[in-house]
Amino acid sequence: MAGDGLIDRYLVLLSRRMHGRPDAQDLLDEIADHLLCATERLELRGVPRAEAESRALARLGDPRLVAALLTSTPSKGTVLSLFFARRLGILAGLASVAWALAAISSYFGFTSLSGSWSSERYLVSAALVGVACLLTAAVLLGVNIRARGRIDATAVWITALAILAAAAGTVLAWVVALWMPLLAAAVTWTCIRAHRAHAGSPALATTLAVLSPVLGAASIGVSAYGVLTGNGMEAAIWGSVAAFGVLLFAGFVDIAARVAESVRATPAAA
């Protein structure tokens, strides 16, 4: 099998998660052969051994995800796991754009600070908030899969929270106390359980985990104050949406950039 090094440690981690397959050893041998061949091809191009092994392993993927895909069936979420894990960078990029648009459009759709307001602007803003929340649900699912190697029960609950936030944000976008706490809970939950995910920086993940619930609570406070005082609080409501949008924009740009960097560092399959 593989000698001492990154590939050897990778195969050990993989073997520990493949006890459910009677042909596990045969699969491990095939994977080892594939990795060694890829490493040798890179070495022939002048890439140092350690870096060659690292690139070959990056191309194959996280051992938890690979093991989950090899030991489960499509009915248990294999196809979905593969889809969201491999497209995390694209989804994160789309989500960042969606939140930028949602933050900007909500200024015109949620307030009259620009000097004019119309129901059409509000509907456009609500639609953009809903799309941003839905894309966030997809990103959170991808991060959970990368962290755990599969779609587990917790990932389903987190995704359900984000989808519920998307529905509420589309239908009742102005009621930020309804959809923002739901989305904040989904983001925080994901950040807490995904410390070992291979996407996003730990520092930014910690920032998201800390600030998301703060902004979720702030949205409730702003809405409650507005109801109690009779003040529309439109500027504060837009401010909470914009702040949350900026926070998620930064997080998703970071994820998209890191995934893209990983792809660039990995040679195309021969």
Q: Would you say 114 and 107 are in contact if contact means Cβ atoms under 8 Å apart? A: yes
Residues 6+ away with beta carbon under 8 Å from 257: none
Q: What is the per-residue pLDDT across 150-160, written as a single tens digit (0 to 9) for each?
A: 778 898 999 99
Percent of the chain with pLDDT over 90: 35
Range of the domain at 16: 6-71
Asked whether residue 252 falls in the same domain as residue 132, the answer is yes
- Phi, psi (deg, nearest 5) at residue 239: -60, -40
- Residue 227: inside a domain: yes
Last residue of a domain, one of 34, 51, 71: 71
Distance, in Å, from the CA atom of 171 to the CA atom of 207, rounded to the nearest integer, reads 29
Residues 6+ away with beta carbon under 8 Å from 176: 219, 222, 223, 237, 240, 241
Distance, in Å, from the CA atom of 134 to the CA atom of 164, rounded to the nearest integer, reads 9
pLDDT at 12 over 80: yes
Q: Would you say 72 and 26 are in contact if contact means Cβ atoms under 8 Å apart? A: no
Identity of the amino acid at 194:
A
Asked whether residue 170 falls in the same domain as residue 254, the answer is yes
- Residue 76: inside a domain: no
Distance, in Å, from the CA atom of 90 to the CA atom of 265, rounded to the nearest integer, reads 17
Asked whether residue 152 falls in the same domain as residue 33, the answer is no
Q: What is the per-residue pLDDT across 216-262, written as a single tens digit (0 to 9) for each?
A: 999 999 888 888 887 768 888 899 999 999 999 999 998 888 777 65
Dihedral sign (CA 133, 137, 138, 143): positive
pLDDT at 9 over 90: no
